[in-house]
Structure 1
Amino acid sequence: MLQLEKFSAWVTIDGEETPEYNVEISDDGTETTCWIASQVNKPFEVHWRAEPNHSATAGDVRVDGKNTSGQVVHPSTYMSQNASVKGVPISLTQIRPLMFSTTELTDDDSYLNVGVSPELGSIVLEINNVVVTDAPSRHELQDTQFESKVHERSKKLGAHSARLGEPEYKVSKYVSIRRYGRVASFTFRYRPLDILQAQSIVPPPNSSKRKADNTPGEDETDAPVDKKRAIPEVIELDDDGNEDVESELKALRARMELLKAKQVKKERAEPSAKRVKREHKPVLIQGEIIDLT
């Protein structure tokens, strides 16, 4: 979300607020620009919020240099007010929603002499102080030929532009206003995500190494670890002292009794499980290692 004094603005794509990158604010604090990642064939809307204000304001939205629509926010002393533009009105009860699209390229040389709007690839919201007048309101339907066509040599301008979707029902209300001073301007420059990443505007995705570090290895498992599981022990014996050998054997026998008790307790806790008679093998002492199996 971009912020300027008493106004904030953001863009949603397919209903989700999209993050802004490389945000810049002018020295006088009335203009801000940023980059967003466009998504082809996804609808987008422009939203803004006006903090409590004693003056009425109007927000006007241009996309790719073309006028779309606007909204008046009336004065409010106690609460902030939200407004939005989601499309271009084509009648009093219908609009065509704004959508991202792939820019149409042509090899027709006649387009070489056609000026391309410097705002191609930009969404601009301008907010002005206004006075609501008593003059009869009138509405002018915008040009529905919204798609941009550029010569193929103009690929540097970016791979996405805006188009209009299928008509939707939405009642539009109109009032007559007189603008008398711009108070804020928000510019969202948009490009495909891969282009923004290639230009280091958007951070690249996590490296494969980092993902590999977070991926369980062959000897790892996602299953919970039983903290009560007994850990096999290796007991070292010293051939030079019979007393040490005897004490180690006593400790070993005590541990075996403990393991037996745990096994009996486990079998009692699972009466439905099939019990198998276990025969314990004798303890063998060979060399310096006692191996219990």
Structure 2
Amino acid sequence: MHPRMWSTREPNPHYSVPGTQSLRVAGLTCWVDSEKQHKHVCSPKISPDGRTFTCWIESKADQEFTVHWHNNVRNVALEGQLYIDGVLCDTHIIPDAHLSPQPHYATVRMGWAQTSGDTRQNFIFSNVTTPNDDDKIKSDNVADTFGTIRLEVRRIKLERKTKRQHDPVYAGQILRDAAVPIINDGVLHQAKFGEEYHWPQRQIETVRGSRIDDDQPWYTFIFKYRPLKEFLRMNVVPDQFMRVPVMMDLHPHQDPYEARSPYAVNVPHQDQRRPSPEIKTEHSPSPVFCPGSPSFLSVKKEEEDEPLLFRDARLA
């Protein structure tokens, strides 16, 4: 028996994202785009436990980028935390179809930081800024996360929705202020926040809930970004210059839910159309958590009798 899917007659535009331009598993699709083009994924790999998907994507200096993820089988609510160069930049929620049956809730678009009630800054690739010796980071952990875009997906339980008058303001680390670690793998680009611009305030929905997957993510998608010349140095050939690769099956250790899913492997690409511009989170809200607000751990400490994952998690 297949997992229940929400009922809609509207076409799913995300079938049009080719497997060579996205990472997919069990109905989840994650991709990065720049300048209205999907980034080709290079040398995709799956971890031994079948939970982490890693690939390479090309980066260009001063190019804006946006991370998308889509859930085509919405029988459970999902939280997606976006880390760029190891910095938590955004957290969005895709609700289950029972709570929010409208199909536009199935997709999240993350490409900016909300810097005030009516201003934003987009994510951009940039040439690495050489820091002073005192500012360099020698931590192996930082070196592993620098030059990466990572989305951690967890299953969650939503409890209620409310209204809020404006978007929560990002209060995390500013990407352009992140020091560059000492690494020798040819990281020539880093991510930064672009120029600030005006964005009108709007009323949004917020949600509260708790995690099902608390310690480890359900799935993790990692995009390692490098300039094209660095790909050639590493002998990594972007897929746009190769024939379509063989589709990857899931690791055999998978949940019964995943084994039943008809979307456990990539489907052949049938349509090169871009996702419909009408289906965007600016016009069609999708739940989001502001990473600048107190973490779920601090919330639990404050209200031990009511352990909440988040407060005022917005529908963006």
| TM-score category of the 2 structures, normalised to the smaller one | 0.5 to 0.7
User: Is 1:150 aligned to 2:171, yes or no?
Assistant: no
Match of 1:160 in 2: 189
Using the TM superposition, give the Cα deviation of residue 71 of structure 1 relative to its aligned residue in structure 2, in angstroms.
1.5
Distance of aligned partners of 1:205 and 1:88 in 2 relative to their CA distance in 1, 3 Å threshold? closer
Task: Give the TM-score, by structure 2 length.
Answer: 0.57
Match of 1:177 in 2: 209
Gaps of 5+ in 2: 1-21, 242-316
Using the TM superposition, give the Cα deviation of residue 179 of structure 1 relative to its aligned residue in structure 2, in angstroms.
1.9
CA contact (8 A) 1:120 1:157 kept: no
Query: Take 2:225 and 2:137, find their aligned partners in 1: how far apart are those partners?
Result: 25
CA contact (8 A) 1:144 1:164 kept: no
Query: Take 2:38 and 2:154, find their aligned partners in 1: how far apart are those partners?
Result: 24
User: Is 1:69 aligned to 2:93, yes or no?
Assistant: no
Distance of aligned partners of 1:73 and 1:112 in 2 relative to their CA distance in 1, 3 Å threshold? closer
Aligned residues between the structures: 204
Higher mean Cα deviation, 85-94 or 190-199? 85-94
Using the TM superposition, give the Cα deviation of residue 4 of structure 1 relative to its aligned residue in structure 2, in angstroms.
1.3
Q: How does 1:243-254 map to 2 (within 5 A)?
A: none
Using the TM superposition, give the Cα deviation of residue 54 of structure 1 relative to its aligned residue in structure 2, in angstroms.
1.5
Match of 1:89 in 2: 114
Q: Deviations over 1:207-253 (max 9, x none)?
A: xxxxxxxxxxxxxxxxxxxxxxxxxxxxxxxxxxxxxxxxxxxxxxx
Using the TM superposition, give the Cα deviation of residue 198 of structure 1 relative to its aligned residue in structure 2, in angstroms.
1.4
Query: Take 1:26 and 1:104, find their aligned partners in 2: how far apart are those partners?
Result: 32
* Residue of structure 2 aligned with 1:100, choices 110, 121, 125: 125
Cα RMSD for the two superposed structures: 2.9
Identity of matched residues, %: 21
Q: Deviations over 1:124-172 (max 9, x none)?
A: 0111111223498995623353123336x64535110000012241656
Q: How does 1:226-265 map to 2 (within 5 A)?
A: none
CA contact (8 A) 1:31 1:185 kept: yes
Query: Take 1:15 and 1:71, find their aligned partners in 2: how far apart are those partners?
Result: 22
Structure 2 counterpart SS, 1:27? coil
Structure 2 counterpart SS, 1:53? coil
User: Is 1:199 aligned to 2:234, yes or no?
Assistant: yes
Match of 2:302 in 1: none
Query: Take 2:134 and 2:111, find their aligned partners in 1: how far apart are those partners?
Result: 33
CA contact (8 A) 1:30 1:185 kept: yes
Distance of aligned partners of 1:56 and 1:112 in 2 relative to their CA distance in 1, 3 Å threshold? closer
Match of 2:221 in 1: 186
CA contact (8 A) 1:10 1:47 kept: yes
Q: Which amino acid aligns with 2:135?
A: Y
Query: Take 1:68 and 1:173, find their aligned partners in 2: how far apart are those partners?
Result: 20
Query: Take 2:117 and 2:239, find their aligned partners in 1: how far apart are those partners?
Result: 45
* Residue of structure 2 aligned with 1:109, choices 133, 137, 155: 133
Distance of aligned partners of 1:173 and 1:114 in 2 relative to their CA distance in 1, 3 Å threshold? farther
CA contact (8 A) 1:132 1:177 kept: yes
Using the TM superposition, give the Cα deviation of residue 110 of structure 1 relative to its aligned residue in structure 2, in angstroms.
1.5
User: Is 1:10 aligned to 2:35, yes or no?
Assistant: no
CA contact (8 A) 1:146 1:162 kept: yes
User: Is 1:121 aligned to 2:121, yes or no?
Assistant: no
Q: Which amino acid aligns with 2:146?
A: L
Distance of aligned partners of 1:132 and 1:157 in 2 relative to their CA distance in 1, 3 Å threshold? farther
CA contact (8 A) 1:127 1:183 kept: yes
CA contact (8 A) 1:15 1:44 kept: no
CA contact (8 A) 1:67 1:142 kept: no
Q: Deviations over 1:24-70 (max 9, x none)?
A: 01233221000001011010000011012221111111100001112
Query: Take 1:162 and 1:4, find their aligned partners in 2: how far apart are those partners?
Result: 26
Task: Give the TM-score, by structure 1 length.
Answer: 0.62
User: Is 1:133 aligned to 2:163, yes or no?
Assistant: no
Which of the pair has more CA radius of gyration? 1
CA contact (8 A) 2:161 2:205 kept: no
Query: Take 2:107 and 2:239, find their aligned partners in 1: how far apart are those partners?
Result: 33
Gaps of 5+ in 1: 207-293
CA contact (8 A) 2:137 2:179 kept: no
Distance of aligned partners of 1:203 and 1:43 in 2 relative to their CA distance in 1, 3 Å threshold? closer
Distance of aligned partners of 1:21 and 1:145 in 2 relative to their CA distance in 1, 3 Å threshold? same
Distance of aligned partners of 1:45 and 1:167 in 2 relative to their CA distance in 1, 3 Å threshold? same
